[in-house]
Structure 1
Amino acid sequence: MTWLMNRKLFVKIFVSICIVSFTGLFFLAVVYQQYTQRILTASETDRVQRSINQAGLNLDNQLNRIVNNVFYFFYYTDMGAELLETNDKEKAKAALAAFRLQYSSELDSAFFIIRDESAGDEETLLYDSGLDPVTGIDYRQQSWYQKFISKQTTLWSEPTDQLMFYQDRSLHTIYLTLGKYEVGGRNGMLVVRLNGKMFSDAFRLLATETLSIELKDSAGRAVYTSFPEVPEAERSHYLETNSQLSYSGFRVQAYISTASIKNEVRKIQSVQPYVIVLILFITLIISFVLSYTLVRPMRKLVRLMKRVELGDLEVRFTGKYTDEIGLLGRNFNKMLVNLSEMIDKVYTVQTEKFQAEMKQKDATLLAMQNQINPHFLYNTLEVINCQAILNEVPSISRMSKALADFFRYPVDNQRTEVTLRIELSHVETYLQIQQERYPDIELGLDGLEPFYHYPIVKLTLQPIVENAFLYAFTGERDYYLKIYAEDCGGDAYAIYIEDNGQGMPEADIDNLNKLLTDDLDSMAQSAAGSRRGIGLLNVHHRIRLRYGDGYGLLVGESMAGGVAVRITLPKEGDANADISRG
């Protein structure tokens, strides 16, 4: 390792890339060889599983359809009762012939046996004329007959090689049996022999030399098999996968030969050495080219850094690539530019800092002066009030006192959020002033006491009330102004300011409500020419800033044709706000 670290950068990069590439390639070859068979096995098992699932589903649907047809023939058409009770054998045979021919591709034969207990257990076997019994066959020895005698009919019989007619084409199949017992002293059973080719056809495209299929009933007895005759011990050379049929209860078992998978693995492994050699050769070439490409711009960058050490800040790195080395070169150029600019800006920054401190001092002085002016105004109004009292001019006294209270509210009360009681007190002060000018306007502030303790942003109501006096009460008729509130349920309440003044056109109301949904910059630009709009938008924006988008103003038309402004507010204010509950 010491030897490598003392070599040139090109040698270190080349050797490092070769070591990493060769190590990764060797590891990949080992892992690939170990997992190839496992991957092929999993892939083949998954493919077979999906195939037998689909084939089994198709077969199960076919069996379901056959059983439904048999049930329909025997029960729903009441043919079972007719076969059991009829004495017209030709009619019964014709019915059986029609049923068998209708499903001839799926059925080998169908017949009906009757046992009359009232006539000394006399038995009658009914089948159509198209069936020819096999000579020497005693049906009483067959398994379905034993079930019939014991009155233990099951829908699916056990797989069997037994047959009765020459038309029974299948060597190995199962029977469907449906029975009726003790009907007028008679017992009857419908026996349907399925065509075994139906099972082999279901898996014909899947069964190959390397894949064997077995279909077993719910008891594990083989209904169909393509598995070769091999000793039980050799079955360990096969991979087994299963699929259960939901309707019939049959189970499909697939056996995959592991020898075929091993053959595929050996084919892949035979070309693996050649692939490894080719990859190693390509890796050497790529390592050399990559090492040279990486080192060349870095050498150039090192030469430029040495010039910077000598004080030359005008050098620049030029590169045509956008990789990390190109990024390093561009950052090197930016560093030189920033260094030059930093030297030039030190004096400017210090000067701007001094100017900012002076502006801050000027702002502080201005704020102190602005605090003096309101106090001078309060004192002046108090003097006017005293002179009015002394000269017995109560109207001037009321006006001066109301004006003093009105101007003191926004300055002395430094809270952003107050209770509704305090805000209404300020509105009442404003209304006292306006009533001196408009004594005939009817004012209503009833029913607000239950809402007094709820919070509200300071100076919310007065600007809206002022809008009514400025724009609504411009005629010579009787006007009113009402302020009332309602509980909105949950965590909110609403205050309404309603008048019967001149009102607003519907289009203007819609435009104003649209502005109430815009951001602050859009509001200021859209309402630049409307003092009325700016006042409402200012109130709306302050509410939104404090409580969120769910609160604010909504403008509408009042019942009397004027304007009604709804102000939605929360019942609980900002927890950090300093609210007076007085």
Structure 2
Amino acid sequence: MKSWNNYLLKSKMFIVFSAVSLFIVMLTCIIFYYKNVSDIKNQTLSLSDTITRQFSRTFELYMQDVEKLSVSIIGDPIIQQSLIDHYRVTDSVAQNEIELTINKRLFTHLQPRPQLQSIYIFTTDDIAYFVSKGGGPKVSFKLREENWYEKRLEMPGIKFLLQPVTTESTGGEHEAKVISFVRNINRIPYRDVLAYMKININVNVFKDMLVNSDSNEIERNMRAFIITDEGSVIYDDRNELTGSEDSGIDLSIFQGSGQSGELIWNGENYLYTMSKSSYTKWNTLILIPSEFLLKKQQHTAYILILVGLLAMGLIAFVSYTLSYQITLPLRNLMKKMARVEQGDLSQRMEVAGNNEFSRLSRIYNRMLDSITRLIGEVYTSKLAEKNAQISALQAQINPHFLYNTLNIMKSISRVRGIEEVAEMAESLAELFKYSMKNLQRPIPLRDEMDHISHYMNIQQHRFGSRFEFSMDVPEALQDASILKLTVQPLIENAIVHGLGKVKSGGRIVIAVRRLGDDLIIEVSDNGCGIEEERLHMLRKRIMGIQAADVLEEDGLGIGLSNIALRIKLFHGVKYGAELISANGRGTTVRLTFPYERFVKVKGEAG
């Protein structure tokens, strides 16, 4: 597979522009889609809730009107007197007259109301007075055969009872589904029960209350129910379940506090809104199939996909054109540079304007001018290089000459018996020999310690017993790898700066230890120490924060910073030097190296 770095800049720009733009378009479409779906769902539930509440309220008002009708029947003085007479007379002729009178009054109340199917009055002695529309026969004959009879004892505390759907004949083969409104007929003004009244209401009354608009998609697709808490269907707008004892709907929705949500009915998903009537205690339920919402969501998705494809096409075209225009000058520059690579230095870019490519072209042209000029100067530089080599050879002669002279002085001193001069000459010769070669190559710690011994041999001849010197170097660490001339300058600093003013009792200690993967070398003295302000500046210099000219020119800060810099450059910023001191309490310099055993390079001189 082709590596990303191998793609042309034009291809990279096109891919990146297209990918980023596509991501933004897709993210925007997804957010818009889910926002739109949420809005559709909320709007649907809001409209459904409005329809539910209106339907429930309309039914309440109708039932309140029926209650008013019942009150007017109860308060009818003719019916009141006729019922009183019913219990007094025993003559059958008189009873017939009472029945005719009651039926006539009931028919007067029934006739103006089209959705009332029939009215019954049951006396406590099992006589039923009855009027019906359409000539339907009497269905109920005795009070004790009524399904609501057992609840009559509760009626004194309740204004009325509403009974679920039953079937009543309207004459011939036709039947009507009715709900029943039942209440007591009390004797006025004594409040004792004279009889019970049942008003049958045709369920078709609900059709007039719920008028669906064909122009509204929600109303065309919704299902409307009136259901009791026990699950009996009072009304189904499609007349499929009206009168059914089991609607198949989860009855828990009528017990909870939620007025809307989602449910599964007959294996399909629906949104529902529900309103419980505080007057009738029945539940008005509106169901909207989720499939209806899915169709709307699909319509939105098709529009978003179309918009997304158009946006992607436009973005791809713009990205390709833009990347081509941006990389065209670069391709021209690459062609010019390829010819320069073959030796044609006359290739120049045309410069127009002051944009980035124009500036790059000017830099390219100046670069070629510089190359042409440098080619003319190369022969002169070769001559200067030869002269420098000669000077370097001469500079190497002087140390070697001095080293050889010291060896001659050592030999003469020993021949003539001047042993101290011979030892100093030998130590000084070893110092020069150690310092002349391989400054940047690692050495074993043993060599650096030997070099320090030679140095201290000379210093002890110079200072006598003014200070003591000791080394604590475990034999196991003698072959550890360090950089040359990183420890000896610290000894020199300790003598010059730490013990310079000490007349006796001075002490210099070298301590080496291993700490994990690190090699720690500490050089300590018990000299005058360093003042806090100067110590702060020295530490900044060691860390490379402060310039050399900020410190006094006594060599201490320069030497330490050079050692720290060499260690960091060779081993990394984790390693280096640390300065610890207090005024009048001496000074300790701690060097940190990675612990590695020294391995001699093949062919390297010893």
- Could you tell me the TM-score, scaled by structure 1's length? 0.47
Determine which structure has more spread, i.e. the larger CA radius of gyration: 2
